Amino acid sequence: MARLLLRRAIHGALIIWLVATATFFLLHLAPGDPIAASLDSPLTPPVVRTHYRHEYGLDQPLSVQYGRWLVMMAHGDFGFSFPHRRPVSSVIASALPNTLLLMGVALLLSFVAGIALGLIQARHRGRPLDWGLGLGSLFFYSMPDFWLALMLLFLFAFVWHVFPVTGMFDPVMYPYYGFWQRVGDRLWHLVLPACTLALLSAAAIARFQRAALLDVAGEDFVLTARAKGVSERGVWLHHVLRNALLPVITLFGLALPVLLGGSVFVEKVFSWPGMGLLTVEAIGTRDYPLLCAAVVIASVLVIGGSFVADALYAVVDPRVRLE
Amino acid sequence: MHPLVWIAAAVLTTLACGAIARAGDGDSGSPWRIALTRLRDNHAAFAALCVIVALLIVAALAPWLAPYSPIAQPDIVRLKNLPPSLAHPFGTDFASRDVFSRALYGARVSLSVALLAIVVSASVGTAYGAIAGYVGGRIDTLMMRLIDAGLSVPRILLLIAVLALWAPVPLPVLVLLLGLTGWFGVSRVVRAQVLSLRERDMVVAARALGASDREILWRHILPNVLSPVIVSITLGIANVLIVEAGLSYLGVGVRPPSASWGNMILDGADEIASLWWISTFPGLAIVVTVMAFNLLGDGLRDALDPRQVDG
């Protein structure tokens, strides 16, 4: 198993290297200055431009720059963000926890809801309930994330005034709250964005889980369990569900890129101060180093996530360990 | 022209689809015919197919169906931000443009971008997957590693970065970029299929008869790869529609004044509290279209699966 994990880790490292290389060429092939769009302006004096180009090593040969880029990436240094007037890594360090919180909650919610929905559908296979839930989850699965976010915002925040409009906490009252009130306020602000993300991936997970459950439900040991007189509930929970949970672990790895992409839109709609909102703002301010850092970091998260999923799979499924 | 014409067109298309479906008959015949019969018997998928055909017709006829021009701003003082009414079924936006007309033209842009992008994805993906699967060995491993790398970069973030760095990107380049970032799934499916076909008796027989690699690929392997490719194309269109809408919503995809469903949602996003109709209707158009392609894709997967003996 250690060998398996080591092999996976080496693959992961190779992929990160490929992504870092690709972003390097992306930055350098694109028109304009790779450090900051503001330097492209004809109003910028040539002296300033040469100064910055020298300071960031842009006057050196491409191979030297590429080497420096890789060293920088390895140290978690993504260059300087001119619009923020801080290193990109510090800008991201303040936003990443917010995104991870949002994604973590959404991931948990979507797996619980998705597995439960899949189980209900599989138990009622072919009946109206299965059909209705299937169509319902396809409906959410077919929605653009930002549109769902906008609609939930419109209905729950503006029409019914149930949840707050945007942000992570109440901008006025927050400093006056006690500890538990603060926690409550934050959770209250988390509901809509997390549910938007969770609804979309729960729909995908439910579709997958239903198929996995029905695969297992046809196995001989399920028939044996029924023949032994195990209750219908016991058959589904202890025999079918337990065996159909394995493939869902793979989904964990696959759900990450979807959630990361979705968080860009959800954070924009709800003004959630995370990586996604930073990325969207970086389009407007043409903050190229930040955009590239977002691509690299998101890829690292995805690779890390699928590594964890592989490791979990190996722990849970003895057949993988024997390979 | 009045929106009623659009409804009439949709009804007519649906009737036409029904007529075609009734004409086909049989549990026997060629595999394609069996698949068609199965698809017909799958009500959800068949309804989805009708919706798609109707949408295509509407998109094609947009200039004749739209009651107003999609970009004209007749009176930006008195006609702006009107709620839905008989004259403007979907209301008007901040520039007094008719949202219904823009949605019709948006169907043109969004559907054609998605369809063209998927052509790029499907061709690149099929070629890549077929070569990897057929050649095999080290080259196959290397090619698949590259796919893994491609799949671990979140597509939307990569596209945002590329589109922002090269802004403003013309529409054909947008199509190309969408196509070139969406073929990984197709190539995996094709490779898996080719790997299993390569060892089949018919291919061994063809080789024994002296067929060249090219002949075997073109005449024996690719036709058998077609059905999973058709399924992933259908599901891929649904995906590209959402990605394009997202990029246009962020302002880096289809640019104004051209209407795409995504940038129409952007037009109303800041005023969602009071002017809900501007964002709601184009969003509904996306949901209906994407859902139709997803349902059709699921239906095609079931219909084209040769392992299912009786439909």
Q: CA of A229 to nearest chain B CA: how many angstroms apart?
A: 31
Q: Do B249 and A146 touch (CB under 8 A)?
A: yes
Question: Looking at per-residue confidence, does A280 or B40 come out higher?
Answer: A280
The pLDDT score that the predictor gives to residue B7 is: 57
The pLDDT score that the predictor gives to residue B4 is: 53
Q: Which helix (H) or strand (E) holds A80?
A: strand A80-81
Answer whether A152 touches B (CB < 8 Å). Answer: no
Residue B32 has pLDDT above 80, yes or no: no
The pLDDT score that the predictor gives to residue B99 is: 92
- % of residues, chain B, pLDDT over 90: 44
Residue B92's SS3 state is: strand
Q: Do B160 and A15 touch (CB under 8 A)?
A: no
The pair phi, psi for residue B267, each rounded to 5°, is: -55, -35
The pLDDT score that the predictor gives to residue B302 is: 85
8 Å CB contact between A195 and A152: yes
Q: Searching chain B, which residue's CA lies closest to the CA of residue A35?
A: B165
Answer whether B307 touches A (CB < 8 Å). Answer: no
pTM of the model: 0.90
Q: CA of A46 to nearest chain B CA: how many angstroms apart?
A: 22
Residue A132 CB contacts under 8 Å (≥ 6 apart), including other chains? none
> What integer best gives the mean pLDDT of chain A?
88
Q: Choosing among A152, A208, A283, A306, which should be mutated to test the B contact, i.e. which has the most B CBs within 10 A?
A: A283
- What is the rounded distance in angstroms from the CA atom of residue B130 to the CA atom of residue B132? 6
Q: Do A145 and B246 touch (CB under 8 A)?
A: yes
- What is the rounded distance in angstroms from the CA atom of residue B241 to the CA atom of residue B243? 6
DSSP-derived secondary structure for A99-123: HHHHHHHHHHHHHHHHHHHHHHHHH
**Mean pLDDT, range A235-264, rounded to an integer:** 86
- % of residues, chain A, pLDDT over 70: 97
The pLDDT score that the predictor gives to residue B1 is: 36
Q: Smallest Cα–Cα separation from B165: which of A33, A227, A96?
A: A33
Q: Searching chain A, which residue's CA lies closest to the CA of residue B285?
A: A143
Question: Looking at per-residue confidence, does B75 or B107 come out higher?
Answer: B107
Q: Taking CB atoms and an 8 Å cutoff, what residues of chain A touch B42?
A: none
Which of the residue ranges A29-33, B91-95, B266-270 would you say has the lowest mean pLDDT? Answer: A29-33
pLDDT digits (tens, 9 = 90+) for B97-125: 999 999 999 998 999 899 999 999 999 99
pLDDT digits (tens, 9 = 90+) for B210-222: 888 888 888 888 8
Q: Choosing among B52, B148, B157, B237, which should be mutated to test the A contact, i.e. which has the most A CBs within 10 A?
A: B157
pLDDT digits (tens, 9 = 90+) for A44-82: 788 888 888 787 777 788 888 888 888 988 888 888 888
ipTM value: 0.91
Q: Searching chain B, which residue's CA lies closest to the CA of residue A259?
A: B154
The residue whose two tokens read 């060995």 is: B137
Residue B2 has pLDDT above 50, yes or no: no
pLDDT digits (tens, 9 = 90+) for B157-171: 999 999 988 888 899
Q: Taking CB atoms and an 8 Å cutoff, what residues of chain A touch B242?
A: 142, 144
Structure confidence at residue A139 as a pLDDT band (50, 70, 90): very high
| B92 DSSP β-pair partners | B98
Q: Searching chain B, which residue's CA lies closest to the CA of residue A278?
A: B157
**Mean pLDDT, range B31-49, rounded to an integer:** 81
| CA-atom Rg of chain A in angstroms | 24
> What integer best gives the mean pLDDT of chain B?
86
pLDDT digits (tens, 9 = 90+) for A298-319: 999 999 988 888 888 888 877 7
Residue A246 has pLDDT above 90, yes or no: no
Q: CA of B108 to nearest chain A CA: how many angstroms apart?
A: 18
Q: Taking CB atoms and an 8 Å cutoff, what residues of chain A touch B151?
A: 257
Structure confidence at residue A294 as a pLDDT band (50, 70, 90): very high
Interface of A with B in 271-290 (CB under 8 A): 279-280, 282-283, 286, 288
Residue B8 has pLDDT above 70, yes or no: no
**Mean pLDDT, range B34-57, rounded to an integer:** 85
Q: Do A292 and B161 touch (CB under 8 A)?
A: yes
Residue A263 has pLDDT above 60, yes or no: yes
Q: Searching chain B, which residue's CA lies closest to the CA of residue A19?
A: B149
Residue B190 has pLDDT above 50, yes or no: yes
Answer whether B291 touches A (CB < 8 Å). Answer: yes
Residue B286 CB contacts under 8 Å (≥ 6 apart), including other chains? A143, A144, A147, B110, B241, B242, B245, B261, B262
The pLDDT score that the predictor gives to residue B14 is: 64
Query: Which DSSP symbol is given to A167?
Result: S
The closest CB to that of B246, out of A23, A138, A144, belongs to A144
- What is the rounded distance in angstroms from the CA atom of residue A141 to the CA atom of residue B30? 34
For β-strands A86-87 and A80-81, DSSP reports them as antiparallel
CB atoms under 10 Å from CB of B85, counted, come to 10
Residue B153 CB contacts under 8 Å (≥ 6 apart), including other chains? A19, A22, A257, A295, A298, A299, A302
Helices within chain A (DSSP H only): 2-29, 46-55, 62-74, 88-123, 128-141, 145-152, 179-217, 220-228, 232-234, 242-244, 246-269, 275-285, 288-316, 318-322
**Mean pLDDT, range B67-92, rounded to an integer:** 87
Q: How many CA within 13 A on the CB side of residue A236?
A: 16
Answer whether B168 touches A (CB < 8 Å). Answer: no
Residue A321 has pLDDT above 60, yes or no: yes
Structure confidence at residue B279 as a pLDDT band (50, 70, 90): very high
- Specify the amino acid at residue B135: V
Q: Taking CB atoms and an 8 Å cutoff, what residues of chain B touch A270?
A: none
pLDDT digits (tens, 9 = 90+) for A162-175: 888 878 888 788 88
Residue A164: asked if its preceding bond is cis (omega within 30°), the reply is no
Q: CA of A138 to nearest chain B CA: how many angstroms apart?
A: 7
The pLDDT score that the predictor gives to residue A56 is: 76
Please give the structure tokens belonging to residue B13. Answer: 């298309």
Q: Searching chain B, which residue's CA lies closest to the CA of residue A17?
A: B149
Residue B21 has pLDDT above 70, yes or no: no
Please give the structure tokens belonging to residue B9. Answer: 């067109």
